[in-house]
Structure 1
C-alpha cells in the first residue's frame, strides 16, 4: 500500500471513556458518546495545527451513552443509553428535542439508522425494535435473541436487517414483516460485530474468540468460511470496500482485512494496549475514527485504501491469517444538509 501525504485531524481527548462514535452524513462533524452519559460534537479539520471545534457538550443521559446515530439529513442526533431511553438532540441549539423514557425494558446497547424514516435499537436482553422517525411510533419488535444485541447491519435494497448477539447467533429480518426470516446455528462464541460485503453476497461477523465468520447470503445455518489471526476479540468492523474491511480488536490494533481471498492486508494504527471500542468511517470515506479505553478519539487517513491496490497486493499478504473451510451443511432455523435546516425532514417523536 502506498501512502501519499497524510493529513488527519488531531486526536480528541476526553476525561472519561468513549463508548460510541457517529460521523455527520454531510459535514466534517463527529459525535462522541461517553460512559458518563455525556455527548460531544466536534467539527474536525485536517489543516495543519488546526484544532477541532467543540460544537456541542451535553449530558442527556444519567447513565452511559451506548450508541449514537445522526438523522438522515444530519440536523439531529439520536442517542441510546443504559438508562433505557432514546433521546433526540437538536444540533443547532444543543437542546434535547425529545426524550423517550423506557423505550426498552432493558438497557439499550446499540442503534442503527436504517433509512430516512426508520431507526432500529437493540437491548441487553436481545430485544430489537424498529421505530418510525417521523412519528416516534414503534413499527416492529423482535425477541428472538436470548442475550444482548451487539451490532446491526442493513441492506436497504431488500429492506433486510442483520443482527448479532452475545448468544452466538446471527438473525435476519425483513423490517416490513413481523417475524424472523432466519437464524444461524449457534456459533459457540459471542458474535460482536457484523457487516455485509461482496455486493451483498457475504456477511461477516467478528467473535469474542478473534475468529471472523463468513456467511453466504441465504445460507444462514452455519458459517461456510472462517479465518483466524486476531489474538483477541473482534469488537467492531466497518466496510471500506466490497473487498476490504477494517477491524478493531481488544488488543488495541486496527487492522485491514481482505475478504476472499482472506488475508491480512495491513495495520491502520493502534491505541496502545487499550481495547478498541468502536471504529467508524466518515461520510466522504476520508477518515476512519476510533475510540478506546484510553479516553481518546483518533483519526486515520484512509484515502489510500481506495486507490488501485493491485501493485501492492502481493507485498501485503500475511500468512498470519489462516483460512479454514467448513463442510457443515446449511439449514435455516425458523425461530419465532445544513445544520440550520433543523426540523425540515426529521421530527422523531414530535407527536408524542
Structure 2
C-alpha cells in the first residue's frame, strides 16, 4: 500500500494508539492520514504548516502541541531553543526531546512545560533521534557526520 505525499517526506510517525500517520514533508508541511474504517487504506485528513507546529514567528524556536484530529493548538513551549528546532520525539507520555539546528538536544517534562536536561550533542543540526526506554538511552545523529552521540 502506498500513500502519495506529493513531495519528499523527511519524517513519518504512527500515533501510539490510533490508526493515524503523520508525515513531515520537505516543503514545510505536515500531512496527517487516518486508516479509513479499518479497511486497509489511508484517507487524507488535513495539512498543517510546519510553521504552525514550530511557531515561525520566532524562527521555529518554540514547540507547539496540537490536537491530532483538528490541528488546533493545545499547548506551547515558548523559546524552547536558541536555534530552529528540526527534530522532536516522544520519550514517554509526559516527556519529549527536541533537537535544533545548532546540535542542541533538550528533554522536556510536558506537564510542567519545563526543560529537565540539555545536551550539546553536536556542532551541527540534529538529523534524527531515537530512544531506548529499557536502558533510558537517547541517541542523536547529525547527517553530515558518521558519529552517533549517546546520552
TM-score range, shorter chain: 0.7 to 0.9
Find the residue that maps to 2:16 and give its secondary structure: coil
Determine which of 132, 153, 159 is the counterpart of 2:130.
153
Could you give the per-residue CA deviations for residues 164-220 of structure 1, whole angstroms, max 9, x where no partner exists? 2344432222xxxxxxxxxxxxxxxxxxxxxxxxxxxxxxxxxxxxxxxxxxxxxxx
Q: Which residue of 2 aligns with 1:131?
A: 108
1:313-348 Cα shifts (integer Å, max 9, x gaps)? xxxxxxxxxxxxxxxxxxxxxxxxxxxxxxxxxxxx
Please name the residue that 1:11 is paired with: 3
Q: Does 1:171 align with 2:133?
A: no
Q: CA deviation at 1:142?
A: 1.1
- Residue 33 of structure 1: CA displacement? 2.0
State TM-score, norm by structure 1.
Answer: 0.37
Cα 1:44/1:170, change in 2 over 3 Å = same
Q: Tell me, which stretches of 5 or more residues in structure 1 are unaligned?
A: 1-7, 63-78, 174-352
Q: 1:35 to 1:100 in 2, by over 3 A?
A: farther
**Matches of 2:128 and 2:47 in 1, distance apart?**
26
Tell me which of 10, 34, 38 is aligned to 2:25.
Answer: 34
1:84 to partner: Cα distance: 2.4
Any residues of structure 2 matched to 1:267-286 within 5 Å, and which? Answer: none
- In structure 2, the partner of 1:44 is 35
What is the CA distance between 1:24 and its match in structure 2? Answer: 1.2
- 1:255-294 matches, within 5 Å, as none
Aligned equivalent of 1:268: none
Q: Looking at CA atoms only, which structure, 1 or 2, has the larger radius of gyration? A: 1
1:59 equivalent in alignment to 2:37: no
Q: Is 1:90 matched up with 2:67?
A: yes
How far apart are residue 120 of structure 1 and its match? 0.6
CA deviation profile, 1:242-299 (whole Å, cap 9, x unmatched) = xxxxxxxxxxxxxxxxxxxxxxxxxxxxxxxxxxxxxxxxxxxxxxxxxxxxxxxxxx
Which secondary structure does the structure 2 equivalent of 1:12 belong to? coil
Q: CA deviation at 1:143?
A: 1.2
Flag the 1:109–1:31 CA change in 2: closer, same or farther, 3 A.
Answer: same
CA contact (8 A) 1:33 1:40 kept: yes
Q: TM-score, normalised by structure 2?
A: 0.78
Count of residues in Structure 1 that have an aligned counterpart in Structure 2? 146
Judge conservation of contact 1:89–1:96 (CA < 8 Å) in 2: yes
Note the residue ranges of structure 2 that are not aligned, 5 or more in a row: none
Between 1 and 2, higher relative CO (CA 8 Å, sep ≥ 6) is seen in: 1
The within-5 A match list for 1:287-306 is none
By how many angstroms is 1:156 displaced? 1.2
